[in-house]
């Protein structure tokens, strides 16, 4: 009997212990309806509903509520169309915004005006002509030539607009079959080469000024035009002389014709000399193509990348009690 009472007591205790977690779980699953008091719009809509009905409505919104696009039962829906008029300040449009909106590349716009081109061409040609002839004049005087004179628009220049004359020889008879040279072949070659030599140095110096950005903007287009014209001076002289020589056309007064005739006597040697110079000219232009393109873009006012390579800055340097013309940079 005692054992039976003990078993019944143990069974009762086990029932009590097993019922406690179940009761606790029951209270844990009770829905929390506190959000209803925190949402006035929801309370106004569902004030006649019991908590269980309201909770069910939250979990399963009605078709009408779905159509009204209620984002959440906890947040009142705000209709943007019923909001009061808002004053949106006008956005200030800058030049950059306008270019971007219209797909305009600022770097492709030309800043050189149309009327500047003829002025730049005329001024550059005149400066190139004077600088070319000044090279002949200066070297002739330095080498001791006699009666050195510079001429422009003179009949002694033939079809050229400018030339330099000096006493190269003296005729010993009336027919000038016997002459006395006043300058040596090397001196004649140096004087004839001085014109294109000076324009070549001018091209290098002006391009270096552009690359180093030491000139004001209003001078860049004219400087680039002059530099490109001085670069073309030597190549144009060479190709015109070579074509006329190969075509058998007389070309008196040409610098390259004087240089080649002074140093080569046979026609075959002269043909070969022109061929070598023409090939060298083509190779040089191919190697300097980036510089040519840079000058063209600068002429029309287009921003472009500065090419690498030759960059020389001319200048005057003190030498004793005088000044010496020199250059520094990358060679």
Q: Read off the pLDDT of each residue in 258-272 and give the average, rounded to a whole number.
A: 92
286 and 195 in one domain? yes
281-319 residues labelled b (16+ CB within 10 A) or e (exposed):
beeeeeebeebeebbebbbebeeeeebeeebbebeeeee
User: Which residues span the domain enclosing 59?
Assistant: 30-70
Residue 259 counted as domain residue: yes
**Given a cut of 70, is residue 56 above it in pLDDT?**
no
Residue 325 counted as domain residue: yes
Q: What is the pLDDT of residue 141?
A: 92
207 and 145 in one domain? yes
How far apart, in whole angstroms, are the C-alpha atoms of residue 44 and residue 62? 16
Quote the crossing angle between the two packed helices 267-287 and 289-299, to the nearest 10°: 60
- Among 70, 98, 131, identify where a domain stops: 70
Longest dimension (CA), the chain: 173
Poorest-confidence range of 176-180, 238-242, 301-305? 176-180
Number of domains in the chain: 2
As a whole number of Å, the end-to-end CA separation of the chain is 122
Name the DSSP class of 108. Answer: G
User: Could you please report the per-residue DSSP string of 272-313?
Assistant: HHHHHHHHHHHHHHHHTHHHHHHHHHHHTT---PPPPS-EEE
198 and 50 in one domain? no
Q: What is the pLDDT of residue 323?
A: 45
How far apart, in whole angstroms, are the C-alpha atoms of residue 264 and residue 229? 29
326 and 226 in one domain? yes
Instruction: Tell me if 128 sits within 8 A of 199, measured CB to CB.
Output: yes
Residue 93 counted as domain residue: no
Residue 76 counted as domain residue: no
Residue 12 counted as domain residue: no
Q: Determine which helix (DSSP H) or strand (DSSP E) holds 318, and give its type and residue range.
A: strand 311-319
Average pLDDT, the chain: 76
128 and 58 in one domain? no
Greater model confidence, 127 or 36: 127
Helices and strands in the chain, H and E counts: 12, 6
- Among 70, 98, 129, identify where a domain stops: 70
Backbone angles phi, psi at 7, to 5 degrees: -65, -40
61 and 127 in one domain? no
How far apart, in whole angstroms, are the C-alpha atoms of residue 315 and residue 320? 16
Q: What is the pLDDT of residue 272?
A: 93
142 and 60 in one domain? no
**Given a cut of 90, is residue 217 above it in pLDDT?**
no
Nearest CA among 48, 50, 39 for reference residue 73: 39
228 and 130 in one domain? yes
Q: What is the pLDDT of residue 27?
A: 47
120 and 39 in one domain? no
Residue 57 counted as domain residue: yes
281 and 146 in one domain? yes
pLDDT digits (tens, 9 = 90+) for 146-191: 889 999 998 888 888 899 998 887 777 777 777 777 888 899 999 9
Residue 298 counted as domain residue: yes
Long-range contacts, 226-229 (Cβ 8 Å, 24+): 226/120, 226/123, 226/124, 226/127, 226/128, 226/202, 227/202, 227/203, 227/295, 228/203, 228/292, 228/295, 228/296, 228/299, 229/124, 229/125, 229/128
224 and 146 in one domain? yes
Tokens 């921003």 sit at which residue? 303
Residue 251 counted as domain residue: yes
How far apart, in whole angstroms, are the C-alpha atoms of residue 188 and residue 263? 10
Query: Environment class of residue 239 by beta-carbon count within 10 Å: exposed (0-12), middle (13-18) or buried (19+)?
Result: middle
206 and 312 in one domain? yes
- Among 14, 48, 70, identify where a domain stops: 70
């Amino acid at each position: 009997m005692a054992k039976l009472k003990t078993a019944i007591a143990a069974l009762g205790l086990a029932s009590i212990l097993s019922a406690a977690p179940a009761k606790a779980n029951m209270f844990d699953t009770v829905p929390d309806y506190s959000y209803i008091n925190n949402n006035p719009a929801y309370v106004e809509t569902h004030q006649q509903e019991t908590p269980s009905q309201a909770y069910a409505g939250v979990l399963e919104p009605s078709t009408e509520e779905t159509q009204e696009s209620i984002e959440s039962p906890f947040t009142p829906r705000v209709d943007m169309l019923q909001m009061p008029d808002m004053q949106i300040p006008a956005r200030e449009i800058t030049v950059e915004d306008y270019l971007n909106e219209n797909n305009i590349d600022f770097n492709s716009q030309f800043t050189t005006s149309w009327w500047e081109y003829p002025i730049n061409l005329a001024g550059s040609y005149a400066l190139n002509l004077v600088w070319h002839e000044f090279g002949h004049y200066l070297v002739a005087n330095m080498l001791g030539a006699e009666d050195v004179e510079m001429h422009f628009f003179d009949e002694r220049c033939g079809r050229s607009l400018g030339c330099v004359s000096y006493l190269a020889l003296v005729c010993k008879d009336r027919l000038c079959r016997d002459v006395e040279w006043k300058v040596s072949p090397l001196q004649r070659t140096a004087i004839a080469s001085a014109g294109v030599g000076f324009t070549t140095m001018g091209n290098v110096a002006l391009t270096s000024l552009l690359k180093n950005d030491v000139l004001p903007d209003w001078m860049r287009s004219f400087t680039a035009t002059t530099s490109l014209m001085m670069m073309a001076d030597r190549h144009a002289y060479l190709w015109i002389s070579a074509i006329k020589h190969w075509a058998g056309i007389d070309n008196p007064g040409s610098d390259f014709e004087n240089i080649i005739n002074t140093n080569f006597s046979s026609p075959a040697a002269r043909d070969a000399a022109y061929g070598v110079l023409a090939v060298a000219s083509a190779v040089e232009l191919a190697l300097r193509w980036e510089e040519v393109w840079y000058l063209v873009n600068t002429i029309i006012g287009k921003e472009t990348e500065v090419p690498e390579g030759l960059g020389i800055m001319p200048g005057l340097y003190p030498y004793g009690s005088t000044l010496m013309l020199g250059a520094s940079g990358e060679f």
